[in-house]
A and B are shown apart, each in its own frame.
Chain A
Amino acid sequence: DIQMTQSPSSLSASVGDRVTITCQASRDITNNLNWYQQKPGKAPKLLMYDASNLETGVPSRFSGSGSGTLFTLSISGLQPEDFATYFCQQYDSLPPTFGGGTKVDIK
């Protein structure tokens, strides 16, 4: 199975900050990567697909980049509703696998 490693596992930030989360794949997955946001007690919500495409309805302050083995999710101008845990997920190879998550909390 492809291992997905996220860093950092948690970070503290303030409203208005720019935040960057990294996801590294154990082998080349081209751009076959999605990002999800999960709030406590809620189901994950799809944010980005194919590494850099914004899902419909997701604010443009979210952006994704990367290919191969290294990917980033950036949030420019962090909003109060963005404090959550973020997961990456690869679909290049079966089974689909997820990163361990990055928790973004308030500084």
Chain B
Amino acid sequence: QVQLQESGPRLVKPSETLSLTCTVSGGSIRDYYWSWIRQPPGEGLEWIGLIYFTGNTYYNSSLRSRVTISVDTSKNQVSLSLHSVTAADTAVYYCARAPAWPTGTKFDYWGPGTLVTVSS
């Protein structure tokens, strides 16, 4: 059974960089697409971006200037960096697996999510 687990600092100061790691266990990171999705408290879901195990990335244009997603196949990890954060970036951040992209994109496995608060 594939499992995803997000990890990283829960509190980030405004203007700094939010950094999270998603560790995949129970399966290989290869041959799949790995996405970051966030959900502000009490709000809906926003897709941030996605990476293939080869390193090809796709970002939401609304965040592209501030986002970097990377992959480490040796560690079965995907990482997210979000630069110059503000309070509006406070959210639960999820990593999720997509078996296909962009045709047939469905997120079939998700991590439990981690709440990141941006505050001084």
Contact = CB atoms under 8 A, between A and B. Distances in A.
Contact of B110 (A44, A55, A89, A96): A44
B47 A98 contact: yes
- Interface band, chain A: 20 to 34
A43 B102 contact: no
A99 B45 CA distance: 8
Interface in A54-107: 55, 87, 89, 91, 94-101
Contact of A96 (B44, B47, B94): B47
A71 to B, nearest CB: 14
A3 B105 CA distance: 17
> Chain B at the A interface: mostly helix, strand, loop or mixed?
loop
B113 A97 contact: no
A43 B105 CA distance: 17
Interface residues of B, number: 21
B61 A43 contact: no
A27 interface: no
Nearest to A93: B102
A52 interface: no
B47 A99 contact: no
A89 B58 CA distance: 17
A99 B46 CA distance: 10
A98 B46 contact: yes
Interface of B: 44-47, 58, 60-62, 94, 96, 102-108, 110-113
23 contacts: A34-B106, A34-B107, A43-B110, A43-B111, A44-B110, A46-B107, A46-B108, A49-B106, A87-B44, A89-B107, A91-B102, A91-B104, A94-B58, A95-B47, A95-B60, A96-B47, A96-B105, A97-B47, A98-B44, A98-B45, A98-B46, A99-B44, A100-B44
Given A46-B106, A55-B108, A91-B106, 14 more contacts: A34-B106, A36-B107, A43-B94, A46-B107, A50-B104, A89-B106, A91-B104, A94-B102, A95-B47, A95-B62, A98-B44, A99-B44, A100-B44, A101-B44
